[in-house]
Structure formats: structure tokens, C-alpha cells
Structure 1
């Protein structure tokens, strides 16, 4: 049974491309603990490919609905670190987003729009007024996230900005046609499954197939609906139409990449 956690200490989630070989993630957790050691920190993933903002966008979009209202999501995939790109914090219905203004939050905000956004200009809430040019996760985003989760108001953290000005990552749109839906691949997961930007609601209760890589791939419900090694289309747990191979790797076998086109045909 789910219970309402809103009155408990807020959570902080971390997402990055830092991996687990180096100490960067541990350092960010140390900074959070210095500010408030009672905060619970959840690692969403630190295995995003280096500088892969589009993958980070998808993973955060896929994860945020499963956290209590008020959760602070700190996401650091930041190829523009140290440049003039904005450091931001955003409030939306489910909580807060903290990180670089590079489109990493555009997936979440496409589903739950921002209600307020600030550029992080108040140095009092940074770890240091002279942050590293290469590690804003440590010097800006981790302390901001910890302060937000500890009750500091968003507007204390910097200059309010228009949410409409936030960078959006263009992944392409899915479009309905007379025979189905045209879309593209928006994410490739660890199993090599090719996740499209076509919502599963388009195919619910229908007979359908996906056309991609010169193939017509039958739409089914589970991986085991086809033999081992066969290609299948289905709606994944994330709610999007995907192409997979039963116990195989569709990405390697089909050689399809991010933003490659595909089409759902309703039959």
C-alpha cells in the first residue's frame, strides 16, 4: 500500500555521467551530508554515457513520477560546465530540479511544466563563491539541492527567470498519420532495447506493428511472445513503444541509433 510521504524529510536524487570508478559521486554526497546529514540521497544512475544529455533527459523523465512530492532531483550531465550556460533550479508539481540549463530537464517539464525557475546566482548557497570550472556538481548543484531539501525557498537561491526560456532538447515529435504514428528512437537502454517517442496509448487495444530498418515488427505484449532471438515490438514499463529482441540486443543487431525514424502501423 502506498502512503503519503509529503510530511517527511524530502529526498534528494542524484543522476550523472560520473560513473562509479571515481570519487565524484561520493564527494557530492559528502557535500549534501555537510549541509544536512538527515537527508536521504537516492542514486538514480551514474552510468549515463559521457555528456549524453539526451539519455539523462529520458532517465530523469522516466524516474521522477515514482518519488514523493517535494523530492529534489539533482542532475549533472554537463558538457558546458564552466561556460556561460545557466545553472538553474526549477519548481514543478512533483518537487524541484537542480542542474545545468542544457535541456536535461525538458523531458520532465514536457509532462509536468515548471511553476517557477531561478538562475542560481546567490553565492551564499554555493560551496564556494569561486567554484571549480569543471565540477559544478560539487560546488553548486549538490549544495543547492541540499539547501532546497532542507527548506530554503527557491527564490532565495537566485534570480527568477521565465520558465519558457529554459533550454529544450529537441528529440523530434511523434505525429499521427492516416495509418498510424510516425516517431523516432529517443533512448537505448542497457539491454539494447530501442525506446521510441511514441506513447503506448496509441496502440492500446489495437493490432499493430512497427516498421523500422526495412522490417515490419509485430506488436506484442511480452518479450516471451516470440522465440529467443526474434525481434519484437511492445510497450515497455516506461510507457513507450520499443523494439527489442527476446534475450538479445536490438541496438547491435539492427544498428539503429538515437533519432532514427520508425513508424507504428495500425492493422
Structure 2
């Protein structure tokens, strides 16, 4: 039974998610539909990219991931599909797949097969009329080469990678989870060579050690650690770091190498 996941900013109060699922099942009635999240903040491409990176990798080979966070719907932005990690990805070309594109296997294709999409297409609901039918056809065995021409310049978000110099890494907060943990775009491998002598600066605060677990500090104390996403995060044991420090996404976080 083929798996199709859905990630959107549609929420659950409207008909949008149900309509997309119906469009998939009309083409691929045996598909198993799995919701990753429909609570992405509206039009927040970075949040969707982060969610896809860390949830999709847990699915088995052959999964098709359909993602629609699409503030440019109805414009000239391209619809695309590609393979990475033995999985298929379908959605708008707006940076949504920035964490995934470097692992693309073969060509990235622009979707250009109107005959495979809805006969009448709304300019405001490509999720239902273009992406859902294409995802269904792909999960049902259609080859990527059949959906449209290959492209070489998909859009990538600048925020996903920190800026590195010999003695400093300039990153930023890219995610705040439901516990208020501040997740950066700095990976464990980025800081591993410096781990024994570094300073982590965020807002007007600084830390000098990377802990292994939240309980390595007293309740209410801040800490830095490598979280489950393998990114450096700032946390408060038993508390909310975002509220404690007044920081949110895109706030800078600086790693300094000490002598």
C-alpha cells in the first residue's frame, strides 16, 4: 500500500485538507494518507522546510511527500517533483525543500502535465488541483520523467545554513518548538571541533558548555545542547527559553572559538 504524507498550513477548520485527500484517492484509491502537520504557521516556508526535514526521514523508502505551503500560488512560481532518500517529493518551488534538495537523486522536474491534473484548476488551490493528483500518479508508479522538464535551479532558503569563519559561526534560530526551545541552524558537526572551548552568544546572554540532557542543569537554569534534530538549541530546564530570553526565529546565535 503506497504511502503519501501531507504537510500544509491549511489547519483543520476548513475543507482544504479533505479536498486534497479526495483528489489523491480519486487517482490512487489504495494510497495510505498520513498527516505530518497541517499546523504550519500560515505562509511560513521556513517552518515547513524544518518540519519536512525532520519528520519525512522517518518514513520508509517509496513514500511520497506532498507539501503545500504556497504563498505564491497562482503566480509564475513553478510546481516541482523530485526524488531524494528513496522517496518522492511534490510541492511548490519556493524553498520548501531547501533541506532536502542537496540529496536529490537524479533530475528535479517541473510539473507540466495538465492532463494529469484537475480539468479545471483554481488559481488559489494548486494543492488540490495540481500537487495532489501528481503526487497520486507518482505514488501509483508514474515515472518522474513523465511529469515535465528537468530544472537545475530550484529555489533554496538562505536561512538553512550558518556563516562560518575560522573562529566564529554566525547562525540563527530557525525553529521554536512547543516547549519554547530555541533551535538553531548550527549542527553538531559544525561545532564538534570547538566543543571543548567555545562561547555561545544569543541576545544579551552567553553559555560556555554544551550539555547532554535538559536535567544536566538545575530546574529553571538555561543550557545549550544538541537536540533530537541534531541542531544546537538553547533551552531552559523545566521552562520556556523563548519567553525567558525574549527571542524568536531569525534571532542571531553566535558560536565563538576560545583560545
Q: TM (normalized to structure 2)? A: 0.91
State how 1:136-215 maps to structure 2 within 5 Å.
136-158=126-148, 160-162=149-151, 164-171=152-159, 173-204=161-192, 206-207=195-196, 208-215=198-205
Give the CA RMSD over aligned residues. 1.9
Equivalent residue in structure 1 for 2:97, among 105, 121, 140: 105
Which residue of structure 2 aligns with residue 44 of structure 1?
Answer: 36
* Further displaced range: 137-146 or 244-253: 244-253
Q: Does the CA contact (< 8 Å) of 2:78 and 2:92 recur in 1? A: yes
CA distance in 1 between partners of 2:2 and 2:30 (Å)? 10
Give the C-alpha shift of residue 103 in structure 1: 0.7
Unaligned stretches of 5+ residues in structure 1: 1-8
User: SS at 2:42's partner residue?
Assistant: coil
Give the C-alpha shift of residue 256 in structure 1: 2.0
Equivalent residue in structure 2 for 1:83, among 75, 89, 92: 75
Residues 207-235 of structure 1, C-alpha deviations (whole Å, 9 max, x = no match): 35421112112421111112222211110
Give the C-alpha shift of residue 114 in structure 1: 4.7
Equivalent residue in structure 1 for 2:23, among 12, 22, 31: 31
User: SS at 2:158's partner residue?
Assistant: coil
Which residue of structure 2 aligns with residue 133 of structure 1?
Answer: 123
Aligned length in residues: 255
CA distance in 1 between partners of 2:124 and 2:47 (Å)? 21
Q: TM (normalized to structure 1)? A: 0.88
Q: Does the CA contact (< 8 Å) of 1:127 and 1:139 recur in 2? A: yes
Unaligned stretches of 5+ residues in structure 2: none
Give the C-alpha shift of residue 100 in structure 1: 0.7
